[in-house]
Amino acid sequence: MCGNNMSAPLPAIVPAARRATAAVIFLHGLGDTGHGWAEAFAGIRIPHVKYICPHAPTMPVSLNMRMSMPSWFDIHGLSPDAEEDEGGIKRASENIKALIDQEVKNGIPSDRIILGGFSQGGALSLYTALTTQQKLAGVVALSCWLPLRNSFPQASAINVNKDIALLQCHGDCDPLVPFMFGHQTAEKMKTLINPANVTFKSYRGLPHSACPEVKIILKTLPCTFWKRKQNVV
Protein backbone atom coordinates (compact mmCIF):
# COMPACT_ATOMS: atom_id res chain seq x y z
CA MET A 1 0.00 0.00 0.00
CA CYS A 2 1.19 3.51 -0.72
CA GLY A 3 4.24 2.64 -2.73
CA ASN A 4 5.73 2.68 -6.19
CA ASN A 5 5.46 -1.08 -6.65
CA MET A 6 7.21 -1.46 -3.30
CA SER A 7 5.69 -2.58 -0.04
CA ALA A 8 5.17 -0.27 2.91
CA PRO A 9 3.71 -0.86 6.39
CA LEU A 10 0.06 -0.18 7.02
CA PRO A 11 -0.68 3.47 7.89
CA ALA A 12 -0.39 4.84 11.39
CA ILE A 13 -3.97 5.63 12.42
CA VAL A 14 -5.38 7.78 15.19
CA PRO A 15 -8.96 6.50 15.49
CA ALA A 16 -11.86 8.82 16.18
CA ALA A 17 -12.91 8.98 19.83
CA ARG A 18 -16.47 8.37 18.69
CA ARG A 19 -18.00 7.36 15.33
CA ALA A 20 -15.81 8.76 12.58
CA THR A 21 -17.68 11.15 10.30
CA ALA A 22 -14.58 12.77 8.79
CA ALA A 23 -10.95 11.99 8.09
CA VAL A 24 -7.58 13.67 7.68
CA ILE A 25 -5.03 11.88 5.49
CA PHE A 26 -1.57 13.36 6.11
CA LEU A 27 1.62 12.45 4.24
CA HIS A 28 5.05 12.73 5.84
CA GLY A 29 8.22 14.13 4.28
CA LEU A 30 11.28 12.49 2.75
CA GLY A 31 13.08 10.06 5.05
CA ASP A 32 10.34 10.13 7.67
CA THR A 33 7.41 7.85 8.55
CA GLY A 34 3.79 8.48 9.45
CA HIS A 35 4.34 7.73 13.14
CA GLY A 36 5.56 11.19 14.14
CA TRP A 37 2.62 12.95 12.56
CA ALA A 38 0.21 10.39 14.04
CA GLU A 39 1.59 11.20 17.49
CA ALA A 40 1.14 14.92 16.81
CA PHE A 41 -2.46 14.44 15.70
CA ALA A 42 -3.20 12.23 18.72
CA GLY A 43 -2.52 15.26 20.90
CA ILE A 44 -4.77 17.66 18.96
CA ARG A 45 -7.46 15.37 17.59
CA ILE A 46 -11.13 16.20 17.17
CA PRO A 47 -13.42 13.43 18.53
CA HIS A 48 -15.28 12.61 15.28
CA VAL A 49 -12.20 12.75 13.01
CA LYS A 50 -10.06 9.78 12.01
CA TYR A 51 -6.40 10.64 11.27
CA ILE A 52 -4.55 8.47 8.77
CA CYS A 53 -0.78 8.83 8.35
CA PRO A 54 0.53 6.40 5.71
CA HIS A 55 4.18 5.44 5.35
CA ALA A 56 6.13 5.88 2.14
CA PRO A 57 8.00 2.87 0.76
CA THR A 58 11.77 2.67 1.04
CA MET A 59 13.60 3.42 -2.21
CA PRO A 60 16.88 4.90 -3.49
CA VAL A 61 16.69 8.71 -3.72
CA SER A 62 18.80 10.48 -6.34
CA LEU A 63 18.93 13.71 -4.30
CA ASN A 64 20.67 11.83 -1.46
CA MET A 65 23.29 9.95 -3.48
CA ARG A 66 20.87 7.07 -4.16
CA MET A 67 20.68 6.14 -0.50
CA SER A 68 17.56 4.17 0.35
CA MET A 69 15.02 5.86 2.59
CA PRO A 70 11.24 6.31 2.90
CA SER A 71 10.18 8.34 -0.13
CA TRP A 72 6.91 8.76 -2.01
CA PHE A 73 8.82 9.13 -5.29
CA ASP A 74 12.37 9.82 -6.46
CA ILE A 75 13.69 13.38 -6.14
CA HIS A 76 16.48 14.55 -8.46
CA GLY A 77 16.71 18.11 -7.11
CA LEU A 78 14.80 20.84 -5.30
CA SER A 79 15.16 23.67 -7.82
CA PRO A 80 12.23 24.72 -10.04
CA ASP A 81 13.95 23.34 -13.15
CA ALA A 82 15.05 20.00 -11.64
CA GLU A 83 14.18 16.77 -13.43
CA GLU A 84 11.07 15.10 -11.95
CA ASP A 85 10.10 11.47 -11.44
CA GLU A 86 6.85 11.68 -13.41
CA GLY A 87 6.07 7.98 -13.28
CA GLY A 88 6.83 7.72 -9.57
CA ILE A 89 4.73 10.78 -8.73
CA LYS A 90 1.76 9.43 -10.65
CA ARG A 91 2.02 5.96 -9.11
CA ALA A 92 2.27 7.40 -5.60
CA SER A 93 -0.73 9.63 -6.28
CA GLU A 94 -2.79 6.65 -7.43
CA ASN A 95 -2.02 4.88 -4.16
CA ILE A 96 -3.21 7.89 -2.16
CA LYS A 97 -6.36 8.06 -4.28
CA ALA A 98 -6.96 4.39 -3.44
CA LEU A 99 -6.65 5.27 0.25
CA ILE A 100 -9.24 8.04 -0.20
CA ASP A 101 -11.54 5.62 -2.03
CA GLN A 102 -11.21 3.13 0.82
CA GLU A 103 -12.31 5.72 3.39
CA VAL A 104 -15.31 6.55 1.21
CA LYS A 105 -16.18 2.84 1.16
CA ASN A 106 -15.84 2.89 4.95
CA GLY A 107 -18.64 5.45 5.06
CA ILE A 108 -16.84 8.79 5.19
CA PRO A 109 -18.01 11.14 2.39
CA SER A 110 -15.13 12.37 0.25
CA ASP A 111 -16.09 15.99 0.97
CA ARG A 112 -15.42 15.23 4.65
CA ILE A 113 -11.84 14.18 3.90
CA ILE A 114 -8.90 16.60 4.17
CA LEU A 115 -5.69 15.68 2.40
CA GLY A 116 -2.41 17.16 3.55
CA GLY A 117 1.29 16.69 3.98
CA PHE A 118 4.70 18.08 4.81
CA SER A 119 7.51 18.68 2.29
CA GLN A 120 7.49 15.78 -0.21
CA GLY A 121 4.22 14.62 1.33
CA GLY A 122 2.73 18.08 0.88
CA ALA A 123 3.83 18.05 -2.75
CA LEU A 124 2.10 14.72 -3.29
CA SER A 125 -1.04 15.96 -1.54
CA LEU A 126 -1.26 18.97 -3.89
CA TYR A 127 -0.82 16.82 -6.99
CA THR A 128 -3.35 14.26 -5.76
CA ALA A 129 -5.96 16.89 -4.84
CA LEU A 130 -5.76 18.33 -8.35
CA THR A 131 -6.03 14.99 -10.13
CA THR A 132 -8.46 12.95 -8.03
CA GLN A 133 -12.05 12.37 -9.14
CA GLN A 134 -13.19 12.54 -5.50
CA LYS A 135 -14.40 15.91 -4.23
CA LEU A 136 -12.37 16.70 -1.11
CA ALA A 137 -13.00 19.07 1.81
CA GLY A 138 -9.62 20.72 1.54
CA VAL A 139 -5.87 20.33 1.30
CA VAL A 140 -3.12 21.56 3.62
CA ALA A 141 0.39 21.81 2.20
CA LEU A 142 3.35 22.52 4.48
CA SER A 143 6.80 23.58 3.21
CA CYS A 144 6.30 22.10 -0.24
CA TRP A 145 5.84 22.59 -3.98
CA LEU A 146 3.54 21.44 -6.80
CA PRO A 147 5.08 18.50 -8.68
CA LEU A 148 4.77 18.33 -12.48
CA ARG A 149 3.45 21.90 -12.41
CA ASN A 150 3.87 22.29 -16.18
CA SER A 151 1.35 19.47 -16.76
CA PHE A 152 -1.43 21.70 -15.39
CA PRO A 153 -4.14 22.76 -16.07
CA GLN A 154 -4.41 19.89 -18.56
CA ALA A 155 -3.77 17.25 -15.87
CA SER A 156 -6.47 18.57 -13.52
CA ALA A 157 -9.58 16.53 -12.90
CA ILE A 158 -12.14 18.79 -14.57
CA ASN A 159 -14.10 20.92 -12.08
CA VAL A 160 -14.10 18.31 -9.30
CA ASN A 161 -12.01 20.32 -6.83
CA LYS A 162 -12.02 23.77 -8.43
CA ASP A 163 -13.54 25.20 -5.23
CA ILE A 164 -11.39 23.23 -2.79
CA ALA A 165 -9.95 25.11 0.20
CA LEU A 166 -6.16 25.22 0.26
CA LEU A 167 -3.96 26.23 3.18
CA GLN A 168 -0.27 26.47 2.34
CA CYS A 169 2.34 27.28 5.01
CA HIS A 170 6.05 27.97 4.45
CA GLY A 171 8.93 29.28 6.55
CA ASP A 172 10.89 32.16 5.05
CA CYS A 173 14.20 30.60 6.18
CA ASP A 174 13.60 27.18 4.64
CA PRO A 175 17.02 25.98 3.32
CA LEU A 176 15.65 22.86 1.58
CA VAL A 177 12.49 24.00 -0.21
CA PRO A 178 13.11 27.73 -0.75
CA PHE A 179 10.38 30.11 0.38
CA MET A 180 10.12 31.59 -3.12
CA PHE A 181 9.36 28.12 -4.49
CA GLY A 182 6.46 27.81 -2.03
CA HIS A 183 5.17 31.28 -2.90
CA GLN A 184 5.32 30.49 -6.63
CA THR A 185 3.39 27.30 -5.94
CA ALA A 186 0.63 29.27 -4.21
CA GLU A 187 0.41 31.63 -7.19
CA LYS A 188 0.19 28.66 -9.56
CA MET A 189 -2.55 27.11 -7.43
CA LYS A 190 -4.57 30.32 -7.73
CA THR A 191 -4.74 29.72 -11.48
CA LEU A 192 -5.96 26.15 -11.02
CA ILE A 193 -8.58 26.50 -8.28
CA ASN A 194 -10.74 29.35 -6.97
CA PRO A 195 -8.10 31.90 -5.89
CA ALA A 196 -10.36 33.13 -3.10
CA ASN A 197 -9.93 29.72 -1.45
CA VAL A 198 -6.11 29.78 -1.48
CA THR A 199 -4.46 30.88 1.78
CA PHE A 200 -0.66 31.21 1.91
CA LYS A 201 0.89 31.76 5.34
CA SER A 202 4.55 32.67 5.76
CA TYR A 203 6.48 32.21 9.01
CA ARG A 204 9.41 34.51 9.79
CA GLY A 205 12.58 32.70 10.78
CA LEU A 206 11.09 29.22 10.34
CA PRO A 207 13.36 26.64 8.66
CA HIS A 208 12.17 23.41 7.05
CA SER A 209 9.82 22.38 9.87
CA ALA A 210 6.39 22.89 11.40
CA CYS A 211 6.19 25.39 14.27
CA PRO A 212 3.73 25.19 17.20
CA GLU A 213 1.49 27.77 15.51
CA VAL A 214 1.11 25.47 12.50
CA LYS A 215 0.10 22.61 14.79
CA ILE A 216 -2.58 24.82 16.35
CA ILE A 217 -3.86 25.55 12.84
CA LEU A 218 -3.93 21.82 12.09
CA LYS A 219 -6.10 21.28 15.18
CA THR A 220 -8.75 23.80 14.10
CA LEU A 221 -8.44 23.25 10.35
CA PRO A 222 -11.06 20.50 9.90
CA CYS A 223 -13.84 22.59 11.45
CA THR A 224 -12.69 25.66 9.49
CA PHE A 225 -12.81 23.81 6.17
CA TRP A 226 -16.19 22.23 6.83
CA LYS A 227 -17.72 25.49 8.08
CA ARG A 228 -16.51 27.20 4.90
CA LYS A 229 -18.05 24.47 2.78
CA GLN A 230 -21.40 24.82 4.55
CA ASN A 231 -21.39 28.56 3.84
CA VAL A 232 -20.89 28.06 0.09
CA VAL A 233 -24.18 28.56 -1.75
- Is 93 a catalytic site residue? no
- The reply to whether 208 belongs to the active site is yes
Query: Which candidate in 119, 125, 143, 170 is catalytic?
Result: 119
Nearest partner of 214 among 174, 154, 157, judged by Cα = 174
Contacts of 93 (CB under 8 A, 6+ apart): 124, 127, 128, 131
| Separation between Cα atoms, residue 127 and residue 121, nearest integer Å | 10
Catalytic choice (183, 202, 208, 209): 208
227 to each of 43, 112, 128, how far by Cα in Å? 22, 11, 23
* 162 torsion bin: left (phi>0), alpha (psi -120 to 50), beta (else): alpha
Dihedral angle computed from the Cα positions of residues 178, 183, 185 and 186, in that order, rounded to the nearest 10 degrees: 150
What are the residue numbers of the active site? 119, 174, 208
